[in-house]
């Protein structure tokens, strides 16, 4: 089984997986609507627009584990993301990224260390995982903005 085979629901509750993105480049991000880093939605959407025609997509996973900064239900999350930030990239169901109920996708992703050597638990909202077309994974701290040169160069190298 690969990360592409792990079941997850879309934000509207329909069964899904990352399978549609196999062979493409995907930036998986745990997102939240009421966080100091929430403005990163702007940069994530810019990446989506710039690279989607080349086989790239951002995929957001709302999570309420960090100071309850994603309290909304699916409809509230969708409305906030689309009206406030014009989000067009796919959003999945709200999940847990740490702890006993950690979603299996994050159980796999958190095995990877970032540039500082940090692996394991997600530290905060907007931690990023770039899954390249060949399935390799790179991890980026929540403090690394979507427009950061390290993310841009990693995306471009993967396309």
Output the domain CATH number for residue 75: 3.40.30.10
Dihedral (CA of 95, 132, 4, 113) sign: negative
pLDDT tens-place string over residues 34-68: 999 999 999 999 999 999 999 999 999 999 999 99
- Distance of alpha carbon 112 from alpha carbon 53, whole angstroms: 27
Which amino acids are annotated catalytic?
35
Q: How many domains does the chain have?
A: 1
pLDDT above 90 covers a percentage of the chain that reads: 96
> How far is residue 140 CA from its own chain's centroid?
11
Based on DSSP, count helices (H) and strands (E) in the chain, helices before strands. Answer: 4, 6
Identify the band that residue 2 occupies on the pLDDT scale cut at 50, 70 and 90. Answer: confident
Beta pairing partners, 137 = 131
pTM of the predicted protein model: 0.96
Taking every pair of Cα atoms in the chain, the longest distance, rounded to a whole number of angstroms, is 37
| 102 burial via Cβ count (<10 Å: 0-12, 13-18, 19+) | middle
Find out whether 143 and 36 touch, Cβ atoms under 8 Å. no
Domain that residue 71 falls in: 3-11+20-158
């Amino acid at each position: 089984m690969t990360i592409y085979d792990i079941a997850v629901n879309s934000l509207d509750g329909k069964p899904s997986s990352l399978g549609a993105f196999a062979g493409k480049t995907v930036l998986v991000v745990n997102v939240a609507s009421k966080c100091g880093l929430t403005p990163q939605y702007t940069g994530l959407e810019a990446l989506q627009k710039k690279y989607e025609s080349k086989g790239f997509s951002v995929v957001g996973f709302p999570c309420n584990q960090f100071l309850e900064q994603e309290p909304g239900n699916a409809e509230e999350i969708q409305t906030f993301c689309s009206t406030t930030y014009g989000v067009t990239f796919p959003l999945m169901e709200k999940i847990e990224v740490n702890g006993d109920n950690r979603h299996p996708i994050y159980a796999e992703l958190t095995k990877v260390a970032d540039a500082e050597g940090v692996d394991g638990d997600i530290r905060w909202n907007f931690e990023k995982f770039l899954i390249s077309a060949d399935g390799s994974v790179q991890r980026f701290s929540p403090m690394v903005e979507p427009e950061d040169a390290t993310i841009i160069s990693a995306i471009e190298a993967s396309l």
